[in-house]
Amino acid sequence: MTNSTSTQATDIMESPLHNHVAHTNADNAGVVMSEDKFRGHLNLRGNPQDADFMAAVASVLSVPLPTAPNTSARAGDTVAYWLCPNEWLLIVASGTQGQVENALRQAVADKGGNQHIAVTDVSSAQTLVNLSGSGVEQLLQKSTVYDCHEANFPAGKVVQTTFAKTGTTICKLADGSVDLVIRRSFSDYFFLWLQDASEEYGLHIA
């Protein structure tokens, strides 16, 4: 039942970004944007000092939760972003967020003890956007207050900052591109800013 409900929910989930199409200089664009609006987003809270909690979560995600500030961990379609000492954002495969949420609760319960865990499905509130291309670093320099120069922003690093006037969580990927988690209610604003800020590089919507 959980799988069916989750799949149906993602089938109708849309963001204002799905209405936008390729724009200037599509063949030689310096900025390429793609949106993965169907990925599952889960907010997880727990005690990183609790070995049973950490082991239970790792058994479900197949990747240990990152505990160092501003780091991430990934395995396949699953990514865990460190948000604060007892909070993480989990990005999971499309349509599986309900299953993962239930599995996390069960795994922690099976460990027993007095563990405290909070898992919240925030998929309907957020969307994941990837930016790639030769103009991405310059684009970020004029769009966010955080220093995204490669010397300060290595692969795997996660920062919570702003993109123009909208809050975002940014993660640098191994291929040099960046993933941005933004609120769905700001999606259209985000795109309009992106379109204007990338005009000199060319923008392509993948």
Q: What share of the chain is helix, strand, coil (3-state, %, to 5)?
A: 35, 30, 35
DSSP 24-84: TTGGG-SEEEEEETTSEEEEEE--TT-HHHHHHHHHHHSSPPP-STT-EEEETTEEEEEEE
**Sign of the dihedral through C-alpha 83, 85, 87, 93:** positive
pTM of the entire structure? 0.86
Per-residue pLDDT of the chain (206 residues; tens, 9 = 90+): 334 333 344 344 455 565 555 454 566 889 999 988 789 999 999 999 999 999 999 999 999 999 999 999 999 889 999 999 999 999 999 899 999 999 999 999 988 756 788 999 999 999 999 999 999 999 999 999 999 988 999 999 999 999 999 999 999 999 999 999 999 999 889 999 999 999 899 998 88
Tally of domains in the chain: 1
- Rounded CA gap, 189 and 26, in Å? 21
Domain of 200 in residue numbering reads as 2-205
- Rounded CA gap, 154 and 157, in Å? 6
What's the CATH code of the domain at 16? 3.30.1360.120
